[in-house]
Amino acid sequence: MLKAFQSDLAIIRERDPAARGILEIVLCYPGFQALVMHRISHKLWKIGLPLLPRILSQFTRSLTGIEIHPGAKIGKGVFIDHGMGVVIGETTEIGNRCLLYQGVTLGGTGKSHGKRHPTLSENVVIGAGAKVLGAITVGENTRIGAGSVVVRDVGADSTVVGIPGRVVHQSGVRINPLAHSALPDAEATIIRNLMERIDYLESQVRVLNNSFQQISEGNSSSKIFSGESQNLKDREIIEFLGDNLENE
C-alpha cells in the first residue's frame, strides 16, 4: 500500500505544475485524499467487512466530493485531478497511471450482479464530465474527451469524443495527455463534409437543369457529366453515422 501512495504522489508532481510539495498534495488535493481512503477501505472490503468500508467511502465522499465504492480496483499512479463529482462504481477496474478529471462517472448499467462497470487499461485519460458506462473495456493510452459518453469497448491508442462516444484514431501522433485542446472535433468535420457535399450536389443539379433546358430548345449539350456516387468524405460521413444506420 505504501508503494501505491508513493506512486500517487509521484504522478501528481509529474502531471500538475501547481503541485509544489508533498505536504501541499497531502493536505490540499482531494483526489489524493480520496485514493488514500479508498485503498484503506478496499483492504477492509477484501477481508469481508461489509459495513465499515462503506462508511469510510461515504465519509470520504462528504470530505472530498469523490465517491469511490470500496469494491473498485485501482492501480498505482492514478491521478484524480480536482475530482469534485467523480463517481467510481463497485466493479470498476482502473489501471496504472490513469488520469481522471472532475465530474467523471465510471458507472454501471442494469441491475444484474457481477461485472457491470468499466475496466480502464493503463495510461487512460478521461476528460471532465465524461461518462463511461457498463462492463466495457477501454484500451491503454486512450483519451476520452470532456463530456463524452462511452458505452462500447474502445481499443488501445484511441481518442474518443462525442455523445455517444466515437473513436477517432491518432495514428503515429503522440499527444500530451494534458493537451485537451488537441482533441479532434469529429462532429464539426462531418458537418463540414456534409455541407461541401450538398454544395457539390446543388451545383450538379444546376448544370443538369441548364443542359435539359438547352436540349428542350434544340441545342445539343456539350457537357459530359461524371462524378463519384460516393467519395472519401461521403465514406467518412457513413462511417460516423454507421452504427445508427445499422440499427434502423
Distance CA 157, CA 162 (A): 17
Please list the ranges in the chain whose pLDDT falls under 70: 1, 168-190, 219-248
> What pLDDT score was predicted for residue 214?
77
Structural domains present in the chain = 2-184 (2.160.10.10), 187-247 (no CATH)
Which pLDDT does position 246 carry in this prediction? 44
Whether pTM > 0.85 for this model: the answer is: no
